[in-house]
Amino acid sequence: MQPSIEQEGEFKGWQYWPEEPFESRAGPFYRKVDDKGVIGAFRAERRHMNAGGSVHGGCLMSFADFMLFSIAWDSFTDGSMGVTLTMNSEFLAAAREGELLTSRGEVLRAGRSVLFVRGMIYAEERSCFSFSGTIKKFSPRPA
């Protein structure tokens, strides 16, 4: 599945995956590559909030899962796919409506069939959520 390029607005030029129905509704989440590596982002809107007025934990976890694959994207150039095996996370600080949430991370190890990834989500400049996870690579079954 290849990403599309946003054509307008704040994230013009960033990549996203319109074929991912859940991520499109939960986010949308965006990624690009800059001189420091992969960066992901989304703008916290009212629909991302919980009753307490901060970004819902499930939204942060969905963004973190998106980032696991965004960070590891280069490991899938052989046509393989992947599924999340594990994801660990820590909530560090609240993110508020209107804030720009960004994320960066790294592949710790890329084995033949399992990838180990970690990253951090920032609300503006504040660290608000750390995550790590493993991805299981597999070849798609013929149709």
Residue 143 lies in a domain: no
Q: Are 44 and 101 in contact (CB under 8 A)?
A: yes
Residue 61 lies in a domain: yes
Q: Structural domain tally of the chain?
A: 1
The pLDDT tens digits of the residues spanning 74-122 come to: 888 888 889 999 999 999 999 999 999 999 999 999 998 999 999 999 9
- Amino acid 68 reads L
**CATH number for the domain harbouring residue 119:** 3.10.129.10
Half-sphere exposure of 15 (CA within 13 A, CB side): 17
Residue 113 lies in a domain: yes
Percent of the chain with pLDDT over 90: 78
Cα–chain center distance at 85: 15
Residue 23 lies in a domain: yes
∠ at Cα 28 (41, 105), nearest 5°?
30
Query: Bridge partners of 100?
Result: 43
Residue 101 lies in a domain: yes
The pLDDT tens digits of the residues spanning 44-55 come to: 999 999 999 999
Residue 72 lies in a domain: yes
Q: pTM higher than 0.85, yes or no?
A: yes
Tokens of 15: 């990549």
Residue 124 lies in a domain: yes
Residue 25 lies in a domain: yes
Query: Is 1's pLDDT higher than 80?
Result: no
Phi/psi of residue 47, nearest 5 degrees: -70, -15
Q: Which residues of 63-79 are buried (b: 16+ CB within 10 A; e: fewer)?
A: bbbbbbbbbbeebeeee
User: Which residues form the domain of 60?
Assistant: 4-138
